[in-house]
Structure 1
Amino acid sequence: MWIIDTFREYPSLAIFLTIGVGFLIGQLKYKGFSLGIVTSVLLVGIVVGQMDISIPGPVKSVFFLMFLFAIGYSVGPQFFRSLKGDGVKQVYFAVLMCVTVLVVTWGTAKLFGYNTGEALGLFSGAQTISAVIGVGEDTIGTLGVSEETKKQWLDMIPVCYAVTYIFGTIGSAYLLGNIGPRLLGGLDKVKAQTAELEKTMSQSSITNDPAFIDASRPVAFRAYKVTSDFFDTPKSVDDIEAHFKELGRRIFVERVRTSEGIAEVSTKPMVAKGDEIVLSGRREFIIEDESWIGPEVSDLEFLSFAAEDIPVMITKKTVDGLTVDQLRSKPFMYGVTIKKITRGTVSIPVLAQTQLLGGDIIEIVGLPQEVTAAAEKLGYIDRPTNKTDFVFVGFGILIGGLIGALTIHLGGVPISLSTSGGALIAGLIFGWLRSKHPTFGRIPDASLWVLNNLGLNMFIAVIGITAGPSFISGLKDVGFMLLFAGIIATTLPLLIGIFMGAKIFHFHPAITLGCCAGARTTTAALGAIQDSLNSTIPAMGYTITYAIGNTLLIIWGVVLVLIM
């Protein structure tokens, strides 16, 4: 058949067919259920693989190394930053959680009599850590067993992964989002405790500003006509802002128009009845000001002035470790509003007691001169760009791969990180270096998304196509008891993690659930927890544990092969 012969002659076309159809199916949802991109790509690859298409080995490796470097780059700043300071308890939790995951999966594999390939597939699927497939395959390739045995093990990895991944994702989200709160005292109780924590973290002891709430609320600039009796005596800009502070709101006067024309606040104009002023601040407080100022006016000319919204990476030691409340009190933050805080790839709540860490990206809004002055005190202005530093990426993967390729022999057993493990470690180090010296090594979010998603799914597509011819027979060999084994390997570590977080580490329930999701690197579970508790507080426990979990669980791919 012409199409089959074409795919066999040009296997790259088969890969792109798998990617396209896999992404299409992975985006479909039915009553909240979705296979997910990775599982869909694998299953489509298995179907395409029935055409018996041979794909050169280096194709798979290149994309996988890109993916692992991107993962390390994303979590590097949080990984190294977490090794000191207040996050150490979460580091200990993540390490214990990852060890629990390894031991439970290894014990389950032994209980069911699985071989090395089956155990590796069970681990990668039940724990939803797809990168383990590549790391484990590399390690299997170094073992002193027959080529026939290696092939048998390698063929079983995608089979076991596909069977256990779906519950690994959906089961984790349901358990942490629904069962977890009930185990910690009941959903209503945990929601109330979370709301109380959010209220406590919103309280400011320095700026008397209750506006530290959901970061998704935008900053607004609005114009008002001054008609209130408060202005019978002309008031200075400082007088007006001091009055706002007495009302418990952090709002700034940005512009004034008198009978003589528009005046910038830097000229220290006086405001009297009949004048107009532009105020800036969070929208929910700005709209309350008609009561004592006067009616809002729609004046395009008056509101047409430059306001800047820029992301800044925190690199200054004088800011690292401050709470949002403490940062707000700094003179250089006058006129500047924090719109959003991003740690790694996760947005964390903008609350008064939220601690800012080196490597965090904070989005600030204000007049250009005010924003620029603040940015110089915060760190590096990380302006949006579409340019990726591929010198940094290329040499990073090269150096990591060379180190990972080094092998030592213990008792006749060859041990190495493998090139994939080396790429991950290199990504961690290079990502950390970028947070310390942000003038080089820039990988924009869009590029990082491509390296992460396309890198992983190209790798998974090749795995599926290669495993296609033997998938059905492999499924018959392993049996449907594998599904039950996957449920055990997914559920038991999460239950143990909830217990550890509550009884050993004494975390807040919302933080406990966020830590469990992070250590298991399951973003879907974080979303389920936040939806269940109607709060973004669980993200405070996710970022550090995610950095540790993403690193250790991938390395466990090497360890599992060796202990099996």
Structure 2
Amino acid sequence: MLHWLVDTLRSQPAIAIFVCLSIGAYVGRLSIKGVGLGAVTGTLLTALLVGQLDISVSSDVRAIFFLLFLFAIGYGVGPQFVQGIAKNGLPQALFSVIVCVLCLGAAWVAGRIAGYDVGSTAGLFAGAATISSALALSVDAIEQLGLSAGETKQLVNAVPTAFAMTYIFGTIGATMIVCVVGPKLLGIDLVAACRAYERKMGGHGKAGGARAWHQHIARAYRVGAGSDWVGKTAAAAESASAPAQLFIERVRRDGQIVDATADMMLLVGDVVAVAGDRGIIMQLAGPELIEIEDAELLNVPVEGTEVLITNRKVDGKTLAELAGLPSTRGIFLRRIRRGATGVDIPVLPATTIHRGDVLTVIGRPQDISASLAAFGRADRATEETDVALVAAAIVVGALIGSLIWRVGSVPITLSSSGGVLLAGIGLGWLRSVHPTFGRIPPAANWLMNTLGLNMFIAVVGLSSGPSFVAGVQQLGFSLFLWGMVVTSVPLILALYIGRYVFRFDDAILLGCVAGARASTASLGMLTARAKSQTPALGFTVSCAVSNTLLTIGGILIVLLAR
């Protein structure tokens, strides 16, 4: 039975790949205090083990899924990458560049001191920085060096070996340094820092952040003769509670219910349906505004919609500025998602909105329609992917990347991989500002990203399996120790650079450091320990920039270490 299984896997390597994907996904779910290996590492370890059976897989399979993966990465980070480099978030983008240089430099210095070859140094960089995409680009770059087939195979096999030996501490160690060691080194009380930052941004500064601040209710009140609302328009009555938001949605007058407009004059005896922040609404009741029960009046039709911000005039505005626009009347903001991973941004008056952000709003259908015209378009769920444009972008990017320019006798090229990555960034950014083409649903992009990378990793692991044990014996425990150094030194330096050079607020500093290392696991632990989403304000731009630069670092480390 065992011989039949081994022979089948050797003769049909496609089955072996899916075995690695399945088992690797389960292995990747194993975690210690919420920090796990991840599907990529699980797949690699499984593939290295299955690869001991000497299974041969065509390199074309690896190349196809690799390009798909790179495009998905570029498409996902495109909006925030361009936003950060172009204008908003420039300090965070520059900080990410410095941290990426530190990561690259630390790996190169460690490789030189330890005497590692190109493949081991590249694997050390990718594993210690926990950037799986760099592993893929390093393998591609080594194959472009023009070495003999035997030497190329030896170096390529060394990459996943070093990656596997350094990735585990790279993940767990980075999270601990950012979330536990960092606050102690800098003396940061994360909860207090986030509360103070929220107060500075116009929030209430209580634990729980935006989730506790924005709880909206509706109540019915009869306007008495002594009320300040008598003789005022609905808009004027609403503005009296600024900066808190409340809206007069409907009015019962002379037994008839009508929708309230901004210029409607309020009269004595009107019964008004008021919606807004719970704390403000509950304070309205009194002798001049008597709360009454009116189920028919309060039966206001509302809907929830996700709005993709595309209007250039809205870009860079704060929520406080936007709240004063006529197009926002009657609209309540519940959630802001930003970046490739859909990071939740705290909803605070001073929070800045960028093109490409997705806002979840609730309100009357007519109010939402008015806001859509001013801000962008509804980001309605659809399962269709613009496959034609995706394929065309990959082709164009690969062709441009394959071009070679010579500076003297030195050939310079992006490589097809780098070209596809940039094509993804370009299309992702264009999609965020002109959402009429290039649609890739988040689930589809996630599948391209995850499946593309894991298929690539599975093929690399199967091919490198036979040499893995020998590689571990040759590199020894010292590689793991060097991995700890290459993981820790850039992060610790980043903490001090972020505070004393860039002077980031303590509430977002650790989020900036996590983003500059593209450590999503660190952000999750940070927001949990902070009891706030505020650290995410420092994560999105820095993560988009570092995700791109660390990926390209897979090529640079090969060129530096050769």
Name the amino acid aligned to 2:165: V
Per-residue CA deviation, residues 441-479 of structure 1 (Å, 9 max, x unaligned), is 111111111112222122222222222222111111111
Are 1:340 and 2:335 an aligned pair?
Answer: yes
Alignment map for 1:256-267 (pairs within 5 Å) = 256-257=251-252, 260-266=255-261
- Please name the residue that 1:163 is paired with: 165
Contact 1:256 1:271 in 2 (8 A): no
Contact 1:241 1:251 in 2 (8 A): no
Alignment map for 1:310-389 (pairs within 5 Å) = 310-344=305-339, 345=341, 346-389=343-386
Q: 1:278 Cα deviation (Å)?
A: 3.9
> Comparing 159-168 with 335-344, which one deviates more in the overlay?
335-344
Match of 2:390 among 390, 393, 411: 393
- Please name the residue that 2:557 is paired with: 560
Q: 1:420 Cα deviation (Å)?
A: 1.5
Match of 1:456 among 448, 453, 470: 453
Contact 1:224 1:276 in 2 (8 A): no
Q: Distance in 2 between matches of 1:245 and 1:415?
A: 63
Contact 2:398 2:419 in 1 (8 A): yes
RMSD: 2.9
Change (3 A) 1:563 1:195: same
> Comparing 328-337 with 193-202, which one deviates more in the overlay?
193-202
Using the size of structure 1 for normalisation, the TM-score is 0.90
SS of equivalent to 1:362 = strand
Q: Distance in 2 between matches of 1:466 and 1:215?
A: 49
Q: 1:376 Cα deviation (Å)?
A: 0.8
Match of 2:94 among 92, 102, 108: 92
Q: 1:492 Cα deviation (Å)?
A: 0.4
Q: 1:380 Cα deviation (Å)?
A: 2.7
- Please name the residue that 2:7 is paired with: 5
Match of 1:60 among 55, 59, 62: 62
| Alignment gaps of 5+ in structure 1 | 204-208
- Please name the residue that 1:206 is paired with: none
| Alignment gaps of 5+ in structure 2 | none
- Please name the residue that 1:109 is paired with: 111
Q: 1:525 Cα deviation (Å)?
A: 1.4
Are 1:187 and 2:182 an aligned pair?
Answer: no
SS of equivalent to 1:202 = coil
Name the amino acid aligned to 1:192: A
Q: 1:220 Cα deviation (Å)?
A: 6.3
Q: Distance in 2 between matches of 1:284 and 1:107?
A: 57
Task: Give the total of aligned pairs.
Answer: 555
- Please name the residue that 2:498 is paired with: 501
Q: Distance in 2 between matches of 1:432 and 1:213?
A: 32
Change (3 A) 1:270 1:108: same
What percent identity do the matched residue pairs reach? 40
- Please name the residue that 2:201 is paired with: 201
Q: 1:8 Cα deviation (Å)?
A: 2.2
Q: Distance in 2 between matches of 1:22 and 1:537?
A: 34
Q: 1:245 Cα deviation (Å)?
A: 3.4
> Comparing 277-286 with 552-561, which one deviates more in the overlay?
277-286
Per-residue CA deviation, residues 261-312 of structure 1 (Å, 9 max, x unaligned), is 5432249586776x8654333456556666775668594x655553222222
Name the amino acid aligned to 2:345: I
Match of 1:420 among 410, 417, 437: 417
Match of 1:281 among 249, 252, 276: 276
Q: Distance in 2 between matches of 1:486 and 1:427?
A: 31
Alignment map for 1:434-453 (pairs within 5 Å) = 434-453=431-450
Match of 2:518 among 518, 521, 536: 521
SS of equivalent to 1:342 = strand
Q: 1:93 Cα deviation (Å)?
A: 1.4
Using the size of structure 2 for normalisation, the TM-score is 0.90
Q: 1:534 Cα deviation (Å)?
A: 2.6
Name the amino acid aligned to 2:17: I
Q: 1:348 Cα deviation (Å)?
A: 1.3
Contact 2:222 2:272 in 1 (8 A): no
Are 1:472 and 2:463 an aligned pair?
Answer: no
Contact 2:143 2:152 in 1 (8 A): yes
Per-residue CA deviation, residues 406-464 of structure 1 (Å, 9 max, x unaligned), is 23455755442222111111111111111221111111111111112222122222222
Q: Distance in 1 between matches of 2:91 and 2:388?
A: 37
Are 1:492 and 2:489 an aligned pair?
Answer: yes
SS of equivalent to 1:396 = helix
Q: Distance in 2 between matches of 1:233 and 1:327?
A: 26
Contact 2:47 2:462 in 1 (8 A): yes
SS of equivalent to 1:355 = coil
Q: 1:115 Cα deviation (Å)?
A: 0.3
Alignment map for 1:97-176 (pairs within 5 Å) = 97-176=99-178
Per-residue CA deviation, residues 23-80 of structure 1 (Å, 9 max, x unaligned), is 2222233443422221111112222222322212121122221111111111112222
Q: Distance in 2 between matches of 1:234 and 1:121?
A: 69
Change (3 A) 1:431 1:482: same
SS of equivalent to 2:347 = coil
Are 1:76 and 2:78 an aligned pair?
Answer: yes
Q: Distance in 1 between matches of 2:214 and 2:274?
A: 10
Q: 1:509 Cα deviation (Å)?
A: 2.2
Q: Distance in 2 between matches of 1:408 and 1:249?
A: 59
Match of 1:51 among 37, 50, 53: 53
SS of equivalent to 1:442 = coil
Contact 1:222 1:296 in 2 (8 A): no
Q: Distance in 1 between matches of 2:7 and 2:292?
A: 70
- Please name the residue that 2:543 is paired with: 546
Change (3 A) 1:327 1:244: closer
Q: Distance in 1 between matches of 2:62 and 2:394?
A: 15
Contact 1:256 1:262 in 2 (8 A): yes
